[in-house]
Structure 1
Amino acid sequence: MSDQAISTPNAVSIRAISKTYQSGFQALKTVDLDIRRGEIFALLGPNGAGKTTLISIVCGIVRPSGGAVLVDGHDVQRDYRVTRSKIGLVPQELSTDAFETVWASVRFSRGLFGRERNDDHIEKVLRDLSLWDKKDAKIMTLSGGMKRRVLIAKALAHEPSILFLDEPTAGVDVELRHDMWEMVRKLRETGVTVILTTHYIEEAEEMADRVGVITRGELILVEEKDVLMRKLGKKQLSITLQTPMQALPEGLDASGLALADDGATLIYTFDTQGEDTGIAELLRKLAERGVDFKDLHTLESSLEDIFVSLVRGAP
């Protein structure tokens, strides 16, 4: 087995990865992706898009049909032991050691990767996840949310440099969701690279540095979150009129402007770039035509709006 690393600035490099199962189902087409060290990367996609398959290949759980993956410069198939020790994985399934205590299960997970005993680290992980008062409880007695926390603790027990969270907050309460967001931010501050798959857009909008969108086994977009919001985001200016109108006055039929069905509201849709001149020009034209309004209100596209439009537009 080789343990020779290839020099790379990325935590994970995915090259031409594909996966077709024996049934003939093609879960992944050709996927190329680089994940930078120390970033939070959100992989978005509807159920069945290929998110879990891609993560499973990177973690060495599923064998790809083609392509290669490097983790910290090591090939995941040739250098399995090295790459797996660098990765922490929090799976979707709540499969845990039901009859073990929280402490024993998490400490055992550390030993699986050949790490020396470090009870101080295990204690810190359990405290950070609000599990310390449950350390002696059998896992079978815990609630679903607490079991999810145990899975995270087990993934962090061996101090990985890369953490995969596969649908981490599916079915958990709001308190745990926000606790996990805070934990992920703290991990990133220590240099841990975090990759999460989710179909909760709020999760990506809250935490991610970059966003990838996958659908039908294809990665259709990878972009900085803020850049994506600026490039593809839209804003709407809602202008409530003093007096309803039957149709737009002549000269006001500008691109992006529409009259609501009730005739009492003008809706102006514009890109997030260059918004100042567009609004100023519209308001000037309204004033010139004697159109009075009593309220202005703006709405901005969410990441969810962008995601839905991308997935619907995918071939």
Structure 2
Amino acid sequence: MTSTIVAEGLRKRFRGGAVALDDFDLTVPAGIVHGLLGPNGAGKTTAVRVLSTLLSFDAGRAEVAGADVAGDPRTVRERIALTGQDAAVDDLLSGRQNLVLFGRLQGLSPAAARARAGELLERFDLAGAASRSAKDYSGGMRRRLDLAASLIRRPAVLFLDEPTTGLDPRSRNEVWRAVRDLVSEGTTVLLTTQYLEEADQLAARISVVDAGRVVAEGTPDELKSALGADRLEVVIREADRLDDAAAVIKEVTGTVPDIDPDQRRLRVPVADRVGALTAVLHGLQDGAITVADIGVHRPTLDEAFLTLTEKVPA
């Protein structure tokens, strides 16, 4: 598979000695959303600024859209777009005027800029609001307009840095739909986000970043599976039957379950999701133990994220 972004051994130290990137490696295949996850200060935004040529680096190499970041930054800039954490649109201009302005700034003729603005307004479902001032747009509309402005020149790679921070769920879903549409048309997206659900929804692959380096990488399912087996969780109605329920679960699964007496909840890892659930439920029913709730749960991306970042040595 072709790689659109490649970083090898990137290092970046700021004045005062703070290390932002420390042997940072990243490979992003073409035509996907690749998520960068990490706690505050992990190096996500620094990595984006380096890869988008906004910040120099001290060591290593990086290539974006077939061009060397350090050796040929101009070509990199011609092939990418960057949407930062804050929308860059002009509140005093209409949606259409904003896009025409961006088109002219990027070298399009007046006619070409107007034509491209019209295409993007339709594509991002903003044609009906094209004549309204951007200050009257909702948060989701402003974000979609910002995305549209980034696509004036049809970039091969789009860097999205915290694209839905502060948006309500409806607006966030609108932005997610727009990002999916971009990828379906061949754009590669590098997404930084602190919303684990966002990464789970959008990213085909995820790199977990901490202390300036990538500490884990894979699909969302692979990162979740790294925590181990699925968990069978049972809640029973009678607190005085917890020990009896634990005995049934141990007999079926061969493992002593964890018990939360306050919640009357028992948890145990299982390999056979359906078989274990069915056998435990039958065993509890045979023992006249009343079940309030039962289910099998996969580890969440939140749990994977916390576990992976907690393992990073100081």
TM-score range, shorter chain: 0.7 to 0.9
Deviations 1:103-145 (Å, cap 9, x if unpaired)? Answer: 2332232344445625333212122333323333444554544
Q: Could you tell me which residue of structure 1 aligns to residue 44 of structure 2? A: 51
Deviations 1:208-254 (Å, cap 9, x if unpaired)? Answer: 10011111212101102222233336533233446533644499385
Q: Could you tell me which residue of structure 2 aligns to residue 5 of structure 1? A: none
Q: Return 130-139 or 40-49, whichever deviates more.
A: 130-139
2:37 pairs with 1:40? no
User: Identity of paired residues, percent?
Assistant: 28
SS in structure 1 of the partner of residue 214 of structure 2? strand
Q: Could you tell me which residue of structure 1 aligns to residue 22 of structure 2? A: 29
SS in structure 2 of the partner of residue 199 of structure 1? coil
2:201 pairs with 1:212? no
Rounded Cα–Cα distance in structure 2 between residues aligned with 1:110 and 1:256 = 64
SS in structure 2 of the partner of residue 194 of structure 1? strand
Q: Could you tell me which residue of structure 1 aligns to residue 231 of structure 2? A: 236
2:250 pairs with 1:252? yes
Deviations 1:72-124 (Å, cap 9, x if unpaired)? Answer: 22112222222112111110123443444432332232344445625333212
Shift of 1:175: 1.9
Q: Could you tell me which residue of structure 2 aligns to residue 309 of structure 1? A: 307
2:289 pairs with 1:292? yes
Unaligned runs of 5+ in 2: none
Rounded Cα–Cα distance in structure 2 between residues aligned with 1:266 and 1:188 = 42
> Letter of the aligned partner of 1:303 in structure 2?
L
Which of 142, 158, 162 in structure 2 is aligned with 1:147? 142
Q: Could you tell me which residue of structure 2 aligns to residue 191 of structure 1? A: 186
CA contact (8 A) 1:165 1:197 kept: yes
Q: Could you tell me which residue of structure 1 aligns to residue 196 of structure 2? A: 201
Q: How high is the TM-score relative to the length of structure 2?
A: 0.85
CA contact (8 A) 1:31 1:219 kept: yes
Which has more helix, going by share of residues? 2
Q: Could you tell me which residue of structure 2 aligns to residue 157 of structure 1? A: 152
CA contact (8 A) 1:242 1:293 kept: yes
Rounded Cα–Cα distance in structure 1 between residues aligned with 2:157 and 2:228 = 30
CA contact (8 A) 1:86 1:162 kept: yes
Rounded Cα–Cα distance in structure 2 between residues aligned with 1:80 and 1:302 = 39
SS in structure 2 of the partner of residue 227 of structure 1? helix
SS in structure 1 of the partner of residue 226 of structure 2? helix
Rounded Cα–Cα distance in structure 1 between residues aligned with 2:44 and 2:68 = 20
> Letter of the aligned partner of 1:305 in structure 2?
E
Rounded Cα–Cα distance in structure 2 between residues aligned with 1:285 and 1:206 = 37
CA contact (8 A) 1:41 1:212 kept: yes
> Letter of the aligned partner of 1:261 in structure 2?
P
Q: Return 257-266 or 38-47, whichever deviates more.
A: 257-266
Q: 1:59 to 1:124 in 2, by over 3 A?
A: same
Shift of 1:308: 1.4
Rounded Cα–Cα distance in structure 2 between residues aligned with 1:162 and 1:263 = 48
Q: 1:217 to 1:263 in 2, by over 3 A?
A: closer
Unaligned runs of 5+ in 1: 1-7
Shift of 1:152: 1.2
Q: How high is the TM-score relative to the length of structure 1?
A: 0.85
- Tell me how many residue pairs correspond in the alignment: 305
Shift of 1:256: 5.4
Q: Could you tell me which residue of structure 2 aligns to residue 181 of structure 1? A: 176
Which of 57, 63, 77 in structure 2 is aligned with 1:64? 57
Rounded Cα–Cα distance in structure 2 between residues aligned with 1:286 and 1:70 = 58
Q: Could you tell me which residue of structure 1 aligns to residue 161 of structure 2? A: 166
Q: 1:284 to 1:217 in 2, by over 3 A?
A: same
Shift of 1:309: 1.5
